Structure 1
Amino acid sequence: MSPEQMFEVVYKTIDDCVITTNVYVPTQATTSDDVSSKELPTAIIFHGGAFMLGHSRMNSTLLINECLSRKWLVVAPNHRLCPQVNILDGPITDCRDLLTWIHAGHLDHALTSHSHPGIRVSKPQIIAMGTSSGGTMAHSLAWNWDNGMTPSPPIAILDFYGAKDFAHPFWSQPLTSSGFGFPTPPPLTPDIESQIYTAHPIPTTDTISLEGQTPTPSSSSDRPHLTPRQIFAFNQIVSGTVIRTNYPPGSPSDPSTFRPIDPLHNLSPSYPPTCIIHGTADTTVPIEHSHAVHQELARLGARTKMIEVEGQNHTFLGALVEGRDEEGEVWKKCLEGVEWIAGFLGTGREGEGEGEKRGV
């Protein structure tokens, strides 16, 4: 994509922490004759990283380009990273504030100031997408929060193997095999832990992603150098402490503890249409957790679709390479989900496809 198609803008500043989002503009919108009055559907794409890692430019290029080809704006935000701030007060609050920022017209102003006059967000046509912890972020835009100022939720959600069902015993168990090859971390020392909790301002980006990691080298000398944050995060992942470290209040076995952050405990009949795409071999976020959300949405009568990707482990979307994987079966499964949610924008072929449920 050309530089003119993407710009970065600040959407939030808190306690000296400046939080930005990338905005991608479809080429067709900038070259068509009727650009002076164009409202575009908008896809918000949240990156993964176990709430502690990653940044906005680590989203799938294939997914971004697919959205742009449909003449959608794409908004890819950063957010504050745990653990200096917990999941609710940091990532979820930031992502909700982004949605409020968009509804308040600030993205429209940013588009004008970055040489895209006349292009605006179609506020009723905002969809939310995300991978892994980013899937949790996408869901978090769908239910009310405490301040009573909830803007309209997204019109649809596309969840790629998102983290959910946090009271499940899985989230307290060591991870014996990730299957997607993140580096084996050295031990977590008090010095490393201190560096994490005293960092100021709270980081909003990290240079490593959990998306599409190559297999871990067999020799420790070949393994990449890990920063203190990465050592901290990978230790939480392998020890099964991601949730208790980043959202510590209450009992880890009590579902009510996680109600403020858990999609499974915030579903309703009016929940946005939701498509979940998950690999059958996922050992990092078990597919059963996605089945639980899909089945509960169907029971409640909400529109929902479950797409299983046979034999795929976690982060398969990030492993897909532009120019190589567009004709592969994995990407075709991803496109099936994109097409399904496009139907709710009026820009796709919505229907009761295989794997879709709707309660009666």
Structure 2
Amino acid sequence: MVTSLLSTDDLSQAQALVAESGLRFELPYDDLVGVFEAGRLVAVGARQGRVLKMLVVAPAHQGGTLLDEVVTELVGRGYQEGIDSFFIFTSPALAPSFESLNFNLLVASGKTALLEYGDGLRRYLARYSRQVFPGSNGAVVANCNPFTVGHRYLVEEAASSVDHLYLFVVREERSLFPFPARLRMVQEGTADLENVTVLDTSWYAVSSVTFPTYFLKDDDPACAIQMELDLLLFATRIAPYFHIATRFIGSEPFSRTTAEYNRAMHRILPPMGIGVRELERKSAVGAAVSASRVREMLMRGELEGIAELVPVSTLDFLLSSEGIKIWDKGGDK
């Protein structure tokens, strides 16, 4: 029987079982469950958001149904919380074990494989089947927190050089402006561009899926591995479906992580048949336009200067009662 692991002894046994398998016990988690036999923990697993992790069965009990039981319990609990798709990161060598449990391999690189429980990616793509256009298309993937004239410039330039442009808005909710608000600003700010289609990334591009490190060695570059998986998934699953031949990006003078992501795109995508075109970031009021600059001005109450940095549609939203309720909280996300 699969049960929650809550007591100090439960946690100690879970930590020991995970360590014995050569993995690291990784916090945080939303659920931690296990199976006991004669008072000894023989199987363990955890869920953090949409990610299942630390799935371990003691050597003497492998080959049976324990792994399936633990996965089924974690997925069931996730469903009860409204989560509809689940992921696991593991080593490529272990991928077949999870494929036998209804996981689908999405992408694999040297040290890591990403699998999804069920057919979420297929359903995500099918949702946009009527928005697939022929030709040599392009893509922009952006957070738009909020949508600025810099974003608009990148989209205009990209759209002018391809048959059709897909503007993917990152769904993750780690921004000041929630996804529905960001999506609305993007849709309103690009409504006049006839060959631009705005889509959401779901969990399949720059996703909010937490990248765990419990199965990596201490010296493995986790961030670089996550970027590689993200770009390989885009190149092998998303780009072919939408006939995307070019990924457009803006230069990044501010964020080191985003700059590294840009470099990874230049390295990974062209060998896979996807061009990368990097445009110099648009400037206004003496500096490069950025969403972070807009957010800082909002926090300081410098509302007049914002009009130089965002389209009219974005400004209207920011100054609306709905917009003010979002940014006038003293937050710094």
TM-score normalized with structure 1 length = 0.29
Structure having the larger proportion of residues in strand: 2
- The TM-score with structure 2 as length reference comes to 0.31
Q: Which has the higher contact order (CA 8 A, sep 6+)?
A: 1
